[in-house]
Structure 1
């Protein structure tokens, strides 16, 4: 028999092109199912209309599988947590509508989750048999993904403040767009990471932006990369093929240098030595190496999430739901998703 004190949260994530459902019981992960959409590769980027259609096909089987794998009954679920934003509106609508129907038919409350908060709280997911080492408060989180690059001051599970962010493109976007120019398939970030290991990171130099305070900019780097290639291809049409690993390594180093410089500055300004990283780009091996090096040098306590929790996944939505549930932060059936949201909304 379940104890009525058990908190069992079903999490639903559908902000971009992955449909995911997860079950968390008393802070422990029981299941985390992700259905990825291969449909976008042919287009070199996520096509919103195709994404929302694929979510509609995936969401029922994904939720069904998550509940089965968790070994729980549907009636044991305490609440359903769903991503309300930021993300692609059509994709978010599918998750929001499903959550409403599920909550209504089960007679349970709904919890709206900010996708960015979810990434930050991925560090608090507990797993059976895995040592739990969570960052202490306050800590700084470098959130880097395809859609966001931010430095967040995390004061508590649900209290966060963005102290630096990109004024144009996100780091993941810079990776993907530059990869496209190199003729690589989407998503390009992981491929650049792979090829960078074989290249010389100091082979080429690209411009780094001079942005004040703790904010980022990546559009100038993208332009400088584009012009550099254009000029080199005039001289030698095989330039990209002949220099691909070096180009990837140099580009990756530039993006990482830009990210690290501001993170180091933020750590100095705040005096905080508890540092976390989150989001899709946090899986980049070059970034992880740079973070570990700085952590050793500056005596930071560094936290890097498990690969499965760096990508968009419902486990991070469910864990955020778990903390909101304990505070009684629920939302009604009139909830609507938002394509743009700040971390505190």
Structure 2
């Protein structure tokens, strides 16, 4: 039965100007309709464009659109979830009040509801989508939810940034980290959006949020207005080594003289071994591939008075500790380049043999 239905579906989809879905469906048994609906689910996930638009007509003929709306209004959690998935596949956005009333109880439902608007390419995708995802007291999302938040915000970042500027401080840390992840990947479309809340999150009491903020800001080295509000001198004062390491990586992404000087000032004297290695790796990565990096000549920063004088004002212990991190980073970079060279040579030899 399934093979016959598939053959007929494809013939009507590709072999006729008018697929006449209503006429076909009207002559099918209940079992055949169920099987055809299963096939429709498969093809809607594989096809797009005009083919998907045509298949949406089959969904209407099968009554999927109206049944999904009834299940959202009257069904339980799993009924609603199943209905939301169908409407997203069919690119059929229902009345927004229906979504607001029945689909904001859980993060999964919020994301599925917003995904319908994205799939249907509605004019209010960003405004209503962000509202569905982040209204009232939102919780953290699954990977699908974060991806949905990114996609609706990419359409128009203003609603997302406005909501975050107003509510970010009230969100749980897990959701704050996810919002910062979205900011990190929206870098090319933010325009003149308010990023003060991103900079403000560098002072969050939660170290994981501070790290996420640095990772987000790493993508905004081009934005002088944002950079001017970041206190680079405060990096060394952060009590959490992973946060300082995230700051070094972000500054390495910025990559200009000011950022490199800030890494040298804090990273070369960092009391944590892992953070020192991150600083050293970041500084080594700034050297050009053609430039030989001397493992015995790490950068030196004047750390001020109050310490036992040694090389350029650094204590003996600090100097030795960073020298070790620097040598390790240089050696690691050398082996990385060697491995890449070997891979290129292998590919070249492989091409020559095959040629």
Q: Normalising to structure 1: TM-score of the pair?
A: 0.20
Higher strand proportion, which one? 1
Q: Normalising to structure 2: TM-score of the pair?
A: 0.19
The structure with higher relative contact order (CA 8 Å, sep 6+) is: 1
Bigger Rg, which one: 2
Higher helix proportion, which one? 2
